[in-house]
Structure 1
Amino acid sequence: MKSIRHTSLIAAILCGTTANADVTAQQVWDNWTEQMAVYGQGFTTSGEDMSAGTLTISDVKIEMSDDEATITALLGDIALTENGDGTVSITVADSYPITINATPQYGDPVKANLTVSQENMSLTVSGDPEAMVYDIAADRYALSLDNLEGDQSMDVEVVDAVIAMLNVAGQYSVSEDTLTRIDYAFNIGALDIDMLFNEIDAGGTISGNADIADLAMFAKIAAPIDMDMNAEQPPFADGLAFEGGYTFGNLSYAFDFDVKNDQGSGSATVDSGILSVAFDMDGALYSGTSKGIDITMSIPNEIPFPLQASMAQYGFDFDIPLSQGTDGPRDARLGFNFTELAISDTIWNLVDPQTILPREAVTVAIGLSAKVTPFFDFLDPAQQEAAMMTDVPGELNSVEITELVVKGAGAEITGDGAFTFDNSDLQTFDGFPRPEGQVNFAINGVNGLIDNLIQMGLIPQEEAMMPRMMMGMFTTPVGDDMLTSTIEVNSEGHALANGQRLR
């Protein structure tokens, strides 16, 4: 819960505007003060003045704190101008300072002085009291670290530390019914991160930079109107929900350090990527994909050889229900993939100096989908204790292998299949629901791989007999070092391999 609170506090300061507003200047300001009160914090001003349709708030200062940090922002004057068409334009200073005093439970205290700066920023509020919409645009919006104070400042000097968003355009809306609902979508032409630090005593340097093109971020948030930001548990049972993610185009990253007794460098590029996240009372979803990954790294003191690797695609997919629902069994998914992972010959030579193994790219991809029946609403505090005390919090109804590929070193295994589970029969398989279904495998090049491992000395000849015998029992030859296998459990609970009964 603390992480949600911290994120909200910082977002409120950086935006310099409220998460709630109306179509008059005074209503915009009044709703901002109401929203700040949600965080249990406050702000001070030196006065308010309404003149010629513009409400000017002078010397705005926001200060927020908890047990481990205090954040202070001096926003200066804020002008809220009524445009005469039911909209309000908000103007804040081109730059303003933020100070973070961190006093962590573990580690040394440190003070960070930052500056928010913006170029040609436009912020207009429209809509009505029940549904406000912010239209935001800026040529550049940046957060820079000016310096560090405290024990950390004795080691390094900040030369450059900036996160800048270029060509920003987006919309942010707020509405209320039984919940506060926040929707936003932002497009950023480029995100640039540049960092350079000097090692004070030894004269070394540490640098890093990252560039991300075509970044698009989106989210839908629902929260109880008077949500307690200090609550021990997030109030999902009261309607808290989040759905969002991002997409990006070409990404590049590089770092370099040359400090006392150590040095190194590295770089990475990614062609594109996507991330999706959702979390509510009913379930949790987390999935992402990155394509065209290329990484190089050289840190001689840690790794005695340079690292180089590439991957066509990396991805993961996780979707799990967290409530009983109302329509019977719930969907669940689990998957990941490393597609065409290639490493440099330098790394291959460490394990295969004689070049015995085929040095093809490696792929590992597994995908499962399932039907499950939870017996509890796991995010409901009233049911959590009962869920923790039970031995079986739900039922597994079915599983399907949607993807199975393991490929590399001259061998490949693929598979598919599906099983259903009879939860009324816990005797046939000793307390496990009785499965029914089959899984099919195609296995190519495995005997050749075993021969190569024997030749390399990684597997003794006598120890290779066991896996060969197992393959002989569970597979059927269909070609030169090509095998198939079908593992089945029938309605009577019999387990069969290629039609031969095993159980």
Structure 2
Amino acid sequence: MKSIRHSAIIAAVLCGTTATADVTAQQVWDNWTDQMEVYGQGFSTSGEDMSGDTLTISDVKIEMSDDEASVSANLGDIMLVENGDGTVTITVPDNYPIELNFSPEYGDPSAVNLAVEHEGMVLNVSGDPEAMVYDIKADRYAISVDSLEGQAGEEVELKDAMFAMIDLAGTYSVKTDNLTRIAYAFNVGALDIDVLFNEIGGDGIVSANADLADLDMFANIATPIDMDMEAEMPPFVDGLALEGGYTFGAVSYAFDIDVDGEAASGTASVDHGSLGFDMDIDGIAYVGESHDINISMLIPEEIPFPLDVSMGKYGFDFQIPLSQGEGGPRDARLAFDFTDLAVSDAIWNMADPQNILPRDALTIALGLDAQVTPFFDFLDPAQQEAAMMSDIPGELNGAQITELTVRGAGAEITGEGAFTFDNSDLETFDGLPRPEGQVNFAINGVNGLVDKLIQMGLIPEEEAMMPRMMLGMFATPVGDDMLTSTIEVNSEGHLLANGQRLR
């Protein structure tokens, strides 16, 4: 719960004005202060003055804190101008400071002084008390570290630390019915991150740079109107729901570290990728992927040659139901893939100096779908104790292997299959629901791989006899070092391999 609260606080401070709004200047300001009070924080000002169509809030300061950290932002004067067409334009200073103070339970206090700067920022507010919309544009919005104090400042000398968004545009809206519904969608043409630290009293240096293009972000958040931000359990049972994600274009990253006689440098790049998440009382979904990944590193004191790694794609997909739903089985999913993972010859030579193994790229991919019946709503505090005390919190009704691929070093294993489960029969398989279905495998090049591992001395020839015998028992030859296998559980609970009963 604390992480949700911290995220909301940080967003409010950095955006400076992205809270809620109405169609008049006073309503904009009142609604903003009301939203901040939800987080248990607030403003201090030296006064408010309405002159003509402009409301000026003088010396605005936001202060937020918890047991170990505090945030203080001095925004200066904010002007809210009524445009005469039901909209309000908000103007904040083009730069203002933020101070972060940390007082950890263990360790010395420290402080970080930030500066926020923006160029060409325009913020217009429209809508009505029940549906409010912000339209935001900025040529550049940057946050930089001005100085470090306390323990942080004693360890390193700050030279540069800056995070900048270029060509920012988006909308932010708030609607209130039985819940407060926040939605935003932003596009950033480019992100630029630069970091440079020097070692105090030495020659050490830490530098890093990252650039990212075409970042698109969105989120939809529903919260109870009087949500308790200090509650131990997030109120999903009362309607709290979160969904969001982002897509991005080309990413490049470089770093150089040389501290205490130890050095490392490297670069990384990604062509494009995405991430999405969804969480509410019904469950969690989390999916992401990145394409055309390249990493190069040099650690001269540890490894005398560059480490080069590339990957065609990396992805994952998780879907976990957490409630009983409206009856009947719920969908679940677990999937991941590492596609075309390749390393440089220098790395291959460490494991295979005689170049015996084919140096194909490695692919590992698994996709599992399932249908399950939860017996509880696991995010409902009233049901959590019963769920924890239950021996069986739900049923597995079906499972499908939608993808199975292991490919590399001249060998490949693929598979697919599906099973249903009879939860009324817990005896046939010793307390597990009885499955029925089959899975089919294609196994190519495995005997050749075993021969090469024997040639390399990694497997003694006598120890290779057992896996070869197992392949002979469970697989059928269909070509030169090509095997197939069908593992089946029939309606009587018999386990068969290629039609031969094993159980």
- Does the Cα contact within 8 Å between 1:363 and 1:405 map onto a contact in 2? yes
Q: 1:303: how far off?
A: 4.2
Match of 2:439 in 1: 439
Match of 1:249 in 2: 249
- Does the Cα contact within 8 Å between 1:90 and 1:123 map onto a contact in 2? yes
Residue type matched to 2:33 in 1? T
Distance in 1, matches of 2:197 and 2:264, equals 15
- Does the Cα contact within 8 Å between 2:54 and 2:80 map onto a contact in 1? yes
- Does the Cα contact within 8 Å between 1:18 and 1:31 map onto a contact in 2? no
- Does the Cα contact within 8 Å between 1:155 and 1:201 map onto a contact in 2? no
- Does the Cα contact within 8 Å between 2:216 and 2:248 map onto a contact in 1? yes
Match of 1:138 in 2: 138
Match of 2:203 in 1: 203
Q: 1:378: how far off?
A: 0.2
Asked if 1:386 corresponds to 2:386, the answer is: yes
Q: 1:259: how far off?
A: 2.3
- Does the Cα contact within 8 Å between 1:18 and 1:35 map onto a contact in 2? no
Distance in 2, matches of 1:300 and 1:437, equals 54
Distance in 2, matches of 1:346 and 1:53, equals 70
Residue type matched to 1:4 in 2? I
Q: 1:258: how far off?
A: 1.9
- Does the Cα contact within 8 Å between 2:133 and 2:171 map onto a contact in 1? yes
Distance in 2, matches of 1:115 and 1:467, equals 64
- Does the Cα contact within 8 Å between 1:112 and 1:148 map onto a contact in 2? yes
Distance in 1, matches of 2:382 and 2:305, equals 55
Q: 1:301: how far off?
A: 3.2
Residue type matched to 1:72 in 2? S
Residue type matched to 2:336 in 1? F
1:229-266 deviation digits (Å, cap 9, x = unpaired): 11111111111000000000000001001222111101
Match of 1:193 in 2: 193
After TM superposition, the structure 1 = structure 2 runs for residues 309-388 of structure 1, keeping only pairs within 5 Å, are 309-388=309-388
Moved over 3 A (4+): 301-305
Asked if 1:98 corresponds to 2:134, the answer is: no
- Does the Cα contact within 8 Å between 2:22 and 2:31 map onto a contact in 1? yes
Aligned residues between the structures: 503
Q: 1:18: how far off?
A: 4.6
Report % sequence identity.
73
1:417-472 deviation digits (Å, cap 9, x = unpaired): 00000000001111000000000000000000000000000000110000000000
The secondary structure found in structure 1 opposite 2:55 is strand
Q: Point out where structure 2 has 5 or more consecutive residues left out of the alignment.
A: none
* C-alpha RMSD of matched pairs (Å): 0.9
Distance in 2, matches of 1:302 and 1:229, equals 48
1:374-398 deviation digits (Å, cap 9, x = unpaired): 0000000000000001111000000
Residue type matched to 2:293 in 1? I
Q: 1:304: how far off?
A: 4.8
TM-score in terms of structure 1 length: 0.99
Match of 2:47 in 1: 47
- Does the Cα contact within 8 Å between 1:312 and 1:339 map onto a contact in 2? yes
Match of 2:234 in 1: 234
Residue type matched to 1:434 in 2? R
Distance in 1, matches of 2:481 and 2:336, equals 28
Residue type matched to 1:80 in 2? L
Distance in 1, matches of 2:127 and 2:427, equals 63
Q: Point out where structure 1 has 5 or more consecutive residues left out of the alignment.
A: none
The secondary structure found in structure 2 opposite 1:237 is helix
Distance in 2, matches of 1:11 and 1:117, equals 15
- Does the Cα contact within 8 Å between 1:271 and 1:291 map onto a contact in 2? yes
Distance in 2, matches of 1:303 and 1:394, equals 50
Match of 1:425 in 2: 425
TM-score in terms of structure 2 length: 0.99
Distance in 1, matches of 2:64 and 2:8, equals 11
The secondary structure found in structure 1 opposite 2:196 is strand
Distance in 2, matches of 1:174 and 1:404, equals 44
Residue type matched to 2:207 in 1? S
